[in-house]
Amino acid sequence: MSTSATIDNMSVADSNESLLAIPLSSFRTSYLQCDIYIQREKNGIPVLYRRRSHPLEEADLERLHKRGIRTLYISKSNEEAFRRQIDEEVLQNESIPLDERYRELLKINEAVFVQAFRGGKLDDLVRFSDKFACQLSELVCRHDLIVDELFAIMEFDNGTYTHSVNVATYCLLLADRLGITDTAELKYIAAGALLHDIGKRHVQLAVLNSPSPLTAEQRKHIQQHPTMGFRELALRKDQTWGQMMMTYEHHERVDGSGYPTGIKGNEIHPWARICSIADVFHALTSKRPYKAAMSTDEALAVIKKQSGTSFDMEMVKCWNTTLKKIPCLMA
C-alpha cells in the first residue's frame, strides 16, 4: 500500500469542510468509496485516514476497532450517497431481520442527531428528522415486525437521542394500534416526535443533566421548552400543524392541569395526546441519577391511574393492551 493511504501520512481535514460522523460498526467494505477521516485525539480535529482511491478492507476495520476507534468521518457532500447505500444494502434488505435493521438505523443516526440538536442549524435538524422519520416509520409499522424483538434491543436512558427515538417509536406503535394507517401521516407523527423536545435546545445543560431532582426555579425554566420549541417551528412551511402541536402540547393534560396553556380534552391535538403518553412512559422507564427506572408494569399502572385526568382514556387502554402483549417488557 502506498504511503498516501496509510494512517502515518494523514492530513488535517479542510477547516471549511463539514464532516459527518459514522459509527465504525456501521461501515461495510462495499460502501461508498470516499475520503475517510479519523479523530486521533479526543476533541481533536479529524484528519485524513484513507483516500477514496484506497478502499477500506475488513482488516482495516478490525485494526481500527482494536485501537479503540469507534467513529469515522466522511464529507457531508457524500452523505446523501452514503445514506442511500445504507438504505439499499441494510434497511431495505429483507434478508436482514427487522430488529437488526432497526438497531442499525439508530446507530448510524445518533452522532448526527446529537450534533444537530445541540449545536447545529435548525434547518439541518428538521431535514435530518424528516429523513430519519421516513425510515423509522417504514420499519416500526411493518405488520410482520416482531415487536418483542424490537423492544428487547431498545435502550432506556434519559439521553436526548435515546429519549427522542424511543418516544418516536412509541408514538408510531400507538398510532398504528389506534388505526392510523396512512403512511404520510405516520411519517409526520414520527418526525414530530423526534422534534417534540426541540425547545430543550434552549434549556441550560446543567438543568437538563441535573444529578438531582429539579428545584422549583429549574422546573419553571424547563417548562418553557414547549413554547420555545413551538416558536422555532411556527413559521416553517415544512411543518404540519399536528407536528407543531406535538412540540407545543405534549405536556398538556386532558383535565387542564398541564402546561404551557392548560387546555383540556379534545382541545389537545390527538398527535400531542399520543406523544404525551409516549413521553411519560419513556421517562418512567428510564434510569436517572436520582431514581431507578420503573418496570413496564409499574409504569403502565401509573399511566392507567392517570387515565382520563392526565391522559386520553381510550389511548391509554390501547397502549396498555399493546404492551401487555410484549413478553420481554412484562417479564
- Please tell me what DSSP assigns to residue 88: I
- Return d(Cα 42, Cα 33) in angstroms, integer: 26
SS (H, E, C) 204-243: CHHHHCCCCCCCHHHHHHHCCHHHHHHHHHCCCCCCCHHH
304 is catalytic: no
Residues 215-236 have pLDDT tens digits of 999 999 999 999 999 999 998 9
Residue 36 identity: I
Strand partners, 22: 72
| Amino acid symbol at 88 | E
pLDDT at 320: 94
How do 71-75 and 36-38 pair as beta strands? antiparallel
Q: Which of 66, 187, 200, 287 is catalytic?
A: 200
For 192: left if phi > 0, alpha if psi spans -120 to 50, otherwise beta; the answer is alpha
| Short-list 58, 60, 44, 45, CA closest to 6 | 60
DSSP output for 139-176: HHT-TT--HHHHHHH---B--HHHHHHHHHHHHHHHHH
- Residue 7 scores a pLDDT above 60: no
**What pLDDT does 274 receive?**
98
| Domains of the chain, residue spans | 1-77, 94-330
Digit-coded pLDDT (tens) for 42-90: 778 899 998 888 888 889 889 999 998 988 998 888 888 888 888 888 8
- Which amino acid type is present at position 35? D
Fold classification of 94-330 is Hypothetical protein af1432 (1.10.3210)
Q: What is the pTM of this model?
A: 0.85
- Return the DSSP state at 36: E
Confidence of residue 6 (pLDDT cuts 50, 70, 90): very low
